[in-house]
Amino acid sequence: MRTRAQPPERPAQLAADCRVEVELGCADAEFSFQLAAARPDWLVAGVEIREPCLVRNRVRAQELGLGNLVFAYSNLNVDLDRVFAPRSVDRFHLLFPDPWFKERHHKRRVIEAGLVETIADQLRDGGELHVASDVFEVALEIMEVVEASPRLRNMIEAWSFWRGNPFEAASRREQTTLARGQRVWRMRYALVGPSVTAPLA
C-alpha cells in the first residue's frame, strides 16, 4: 500500500548535486518562498502535515514560477525518513513550532529524540539544523533535546542562542515577532562526523 509520505518530485532543471534546504512544518511556507526566490539554483522543500496548506503552497509556487520549490506531506515524528534519503539534505529549518502549553498536548510537540536522529541521518556532511521560536520555554525544551544528541553540535557553544537572522528569508511568524519588538530564539546545530553511522564489519 502506498503511504502518504513520499519523496517530493525533483525538478529536472536543477543540478543533481544542488543544495537542498528543507523547511519542516512549513505552514504557509513564507520562508521557503523567499529562499527559493533568492536561490533559484537550490532545491527548496516545504514539509507539512496539513493537506490544505500543501495544496495552496503548490498553487502559489506555480503561479510565481518557482520551479525549484516543492512540497511534501509528512507527520514528522512518524515518517520523515520516507521523504528524504540519508545524506541528501544540506539544511533543515524548524521555525516557530506550536508551543502546545497544555499538559495533555505535550505529546504533540515536534522535537523528539527520534526526530533529531532522523534529521542527523538525512543531513549531508557539514549539514545543519536551524531552529527558531518566539517562546523562550519552547526554545529551551527544543535545545534540551538537540543538545543531548552527540551527532549535532551547537555552532556557537553548548546551550547558546544565535543572534540575528543569517538567512535570506524570514517566516511570517518571525516578521510579526520582530515587528512587535520581541526576540526570536534561534539555534543552529552542525552535523558532527559522518551523517550515517557505518555498519559494523
Per-residue pLDDT reduced to its tens digit, 163-172: 999 999 999 9
Residue 197 lies in a domain: no
* Rounded average pLDDT over 116-141: 96
Residue 130 lies in a domain: yes
Confidence check: pLDDT of 158 > 60: yes
Dihedral of alpha carbons 112, 118, 122, 123, sign: positive
Q: Which CATH number characterizes residue 143's domain? A: 3.40.50.150
Contact 72, 32 (CB under 8 A): no
Confidence check: pLDDT of 104 > 90: no
Domains in the chain: how many in total?
1
Confidence check: pLDDT of 200 > 70: no
Residue 7 lies in a domain: no
Dihedral of alpha carbons 19, 22, 28, 31, sign: negative
Residue 93 lies in a domain: yes
Look at the block and give the residue holding cell 533535546.
145
Contact 71, 31 (CB under 8 A): no
Residue 65 lies in a domain: yes
Task: Walk across the sheet containing 89-95 and list its strands.
Answer: 69-73, 43-48, 20-24, 89-95, 123-133, 185-191, 152-154
pTM of the model: 0.91
- Catalytically active residues are 98
Residue 12 lies in a domain: no
Domain region containing 186: 20-191
* Rounded average pLDDT over 128-139: 96
Residue 10 lies in a domain: no
Confidence check: pLDDT of 174 > 50: yes
Per-residue confidence (pLDDT) for residue 199, from 0 to 100: 41
Per-residue pLDDT reduced to its tens digit, 52-76: 999 999 999 999 999 999 999 999 9
Per-residue confidence (pLDDT) for residue 100, from 0 to 100: 47
Residue 168 lies in a domain: yes
